[in-house]
Structure 1
Amino acid sequence: MLILFLKTFSLFGYLNKTKVEQLSNLFRKNNCNTFVKQFYKLILLIINKLIIFNGLTDLDLLHFEQLKKEVQAQYLKEYTPSHDDISKWKGIDIIYFQEDLRKKAKGNISEKSFYTYFKNSPVTKLPRIDMLNLLSIYAGYDSWYEFKKQHLFAGELLQQDEEINEEEIQELENFTYSSPELQKEDHNAEKAVRKQPENPDLQKSSSENQTLNSKATITSSSSPTVVSQEKNFFRKNAWIMVTAVLVTISGVLGFKDELFSKNYTFCFTDADRGVNVINTLEIKVIKENESPMLYKIKPGECFEYSTKDKILKMQISAPFYETLDVNRNLETAPDKEMIELKPDDYKMAVNYFSVKDANGNPELLKQKRKQLENLISDHAIIYQVYDNATYGIETLDKQKYITLVTTPTTSLKNLSVIEMKKDKGKIVSIKFKIASTNENKQ
């Protein structure tokens, strides 16, 4: 969705298509940090272009009003027009001004542009950058930027974004001030001025010339400005689009983990028997400088984990299986993986003989007791867990436990081992639970 958003702006010329493709590759490679930085740079470039394109920089408009005053003052140093105020100049005054502009600044502005930007004060949009530079040179400055630099308002700073290179700035200016419609209008207006018959006696009777040109002036100023529907759309909706961009940035920063996370599935099997593990698994996900996160997975279920990390460390444990440490490079790991857990024979045997039903057969009971005597350490600590609040947990020694599991009773069918620990070939700790009949049915 984010890439589609940027591609939309590239279609309208706001972004270079190559930059959008580079960003798409970063997104596909799951390079989160670099993607966010590059995305933020492009968003800043879009905002810059929207602001400049729509002429909404209030300070620039104020600077232009200052420039008009200095242009007027420069002309009044050598000429005496019909009125000191440049906004009240008419036909012959404009022609003389154009001639002086060509002589001193080596450039020209059309009569239409003069009426658009000098007859209306204050203006609501800026001229093209070439016209701004031309007027600045006429007023005695190197460029429009130099003029603004020497007329900073209180607290104003000329922004020069270090993240935007010269190529992008040039692209920005070309896009903003190279509208085919405006160039066409100025070209037509200049042709109209050139076609006016030259009168060698213009300076002898300026008032007459002003009268003769008045009709042409009115006609020129009243011609409607042709603006494409595309431009009107962006002018009217610029700030809505800027707001949408900022909301998008907030969304990217707020949900970047979800956006760049990838899902991995781990299933578990008994390494000796090739069947699902018979215990509830405890999985600890270990991250650097963080406490482990514990997950419990029921027998037969798979572990699903979502992360944007490149490395995954897990510790997998179960009552009848050996603890397994897993390290995975997620850049090359498959989306789904089967992990084998090696059974612990001692633990399996203790569980088997603990729950095995001897059916009251004295020989079988004797064999069962003997096996448990050999498997369990004399100093083993054994816990029976209760669900009710009265008992909670009870400690048994080895003999009490063996007596419990060798006494013929139907409750042994509900015995389940929660945890078992082994040391030096002997079981040194057992934690078990005998579920109630109702609980077992559930």
Structure 2
Amino acid sequence: MTDLDLLHFEQLKKDVQAQYLKGHTPSYDDISKWKGIDIIYFQEDLRKKAKGNISEKSFYTYFKNSPVTKLPRIDMLNLLSIYAGYESWYEFKKQHLFAGELLQENENFDDDDLKELEKTVSASIELPKDDNIAIKTENKSSETADLQKSNTDNQTVTKKENVSQIAAPEAEKPKKNFFRKNAWILITALLIIATGLLGFKDAIFQKTYVYCFTDADRNMSIQREIEIKVIKENESPILYRIKPGECFRYATKDKILKMQISSPFYEYLEVSRNLENAPEEEIIELKPDDYKMALYYFSTKDINGGNPQEQLKLIRQKRQQLEDRISDNAVITQVYDSDIYGLETLDKEDYITLMTTPTTSLKNLNVIEMKKDKKGKIVSIKFKISTNENNK
């Protein structure tokens, strides 16, 4: 990457901005000031014209900062170049050359070419083997054979009694050392056993409890992901994610279990159990949240290409439902993946407009948290529109 590449990227951002302004009127002309619904509309236009997508995190990383200090991945550069009307990032640079700038053709290598080049460079070189090792071994064996020869036929053994008297006290020492060594072995074994019991005492005394979840209205297992926070005194909550249709298995030696259970389209539930007399297996019912289900149905319902009057009727119907359910003073927060701009507050009208605009982004909508007052009015909403750069 060169400084010229960064300058080219700043040029590309201006071309992308100009391309979007041809058919849209965002809240600001400057792309670095876009946020919220402006970004969603831009993502929608990018999917239609370039058949690709970038996440909010990438948008805030590369479009909110100017000038940038690093380039995006080549696939994102190609995608933005196509949106701006060029065949590729290489073609864009080729048509915006600076004075004295030269482009090399190998800048346009694809992944297959790079992999083949890496294989060629990393080819291993075999070193010659030393065949003299076997020869040296044979020479050593032949040399030691002569040293083994000795004439013991004429030797006589004398003073056998003295030898036996000297060996007797030396034989008593190994017996004492044997007992000492065995004593240390026994003590070491006991220490190892004690350490093992201390290390695995939690596993030995733990008990496993199984909790399965069903829909309170339909009497069937929950086919949505479930999040469970286990609450312990003087400790941070432990979060578990349970896949659709699966049960929650929890091993513990505690006497009390407290859980906070949440799932898309179901009401939040807190559960507390005294494990001294609790069953090992239990079924917990979750009550469906009608608002979340209705919102999901509307956001995923395809109303494009239908009768225009029917589309308008559906939008008006949904707006009226949201007007009736949401308090005028509701606190509405959108959560982003971006580290630069993580949260955004919307008023009631902006939120209703976002929810009643038929875009493909709403298919990824996830209501994280929702609170109601005693009259049933929604006073707080926290939601997120998940995006993936591979979504098309």
Q: When you count helix as a share of all residues, which structure comes out higher? A: 1
How does the TM-score come out when normalised to structure 1? 0.42
Q: Whose radius of gyration is greater, 1 or 2?
A: 1
How does the TM-score come out when normalised to structure 2? 0.47
If asked which structure has higher relative contact order (CA below 8 Å, sep 6+), I would say 2
